[in-house]
Amino acid sequence: MNNGNPDIFTGKYDYNLGRYLDKNMWTIQQLMASDPSFESNYKNKKFSISKGKIAGMSATSWLAKAQGEMNGNGFKFGSKTTVQSTSVRRKAVYSVAFDHKSKGFDNNNSKGCTGYIANCVSFNNNINYQLPYVFEKWASNWSWNPIKADQSQQNQGLHYPKDKNAATKQFYAIRNKIITNCAASKFDDSVNFDNVIKSLV
């Protein structure tokens, strides 16, 4: 979730939700080093990245450059150097991608692979699915609210929930539990998206 979203890697996302400053993030460490008041401002309900320099550039220019260079994809299945052969297999089952700057599921320049995609969900991405593959299996995959149309060259069938808003809230509720657990250094395998995906069927 949220790959390529600058609000995530600057801490603004957490700030807007009233969460603590995640000083384990590399970008946050750079912002703190460039501006000694960044952390105290954050704690005093003021978010600002206008001061200081990172790698010789103003913090705002550096962040803009970083945002432009990241592609913001979720699941990336290869590269242009991937062998174009059906012997190369790409598999995703019960996988979820949402709120990415670019694509939820992306071939990442690989083509001609054999795909096995089942019970996956992709929503609120720029493009939810871009997978120009030959499919061994494509079943029960869900999509809603892409900014652009899905671009599977095989025109595989996608499912759409009757109530997109309700479905989104269900996934966000699990997302919030995962975030809360991670913040508390708890990793509970029972907190996952599987049951929410099954409820869509």
Q: Quote the pTM value.
A: 0.86
Instruction: Please give the pLDDT value at position 162.
Output: 93
- The mean pLDDT of 54-70, rounded to a whole number, is 85
Element (H, E) at 194: helix 194-200
Instruction: Please give the pLDDT value at position 151.
Output: 64
Instruction: Please give the pLDDT value at position 170.
Output: 97
CB 137 within 8 A of CB 116: yes
What distances in angstroms separate CA 100 from CA 35, 69, 150, one per listed residue?
Answer: 28, 14, 14
Q: What is the pLDDT of residues 90-135, one digit of tens each?
A: 999 999 999 999 999 999 989 889 999 999 999 999 999 999 898 9
CB 110 within 8 A of CB 131: no
CA distance 153 to 171: 27
Q: What is the pLDDT of residues 137-192, one digit of tens each?
A: 999 999 999 988 776 554 568 999 999 999 999 999 999 999 889 888 888 889 99
Closest CA to 121 of 144, 147, 138: 144
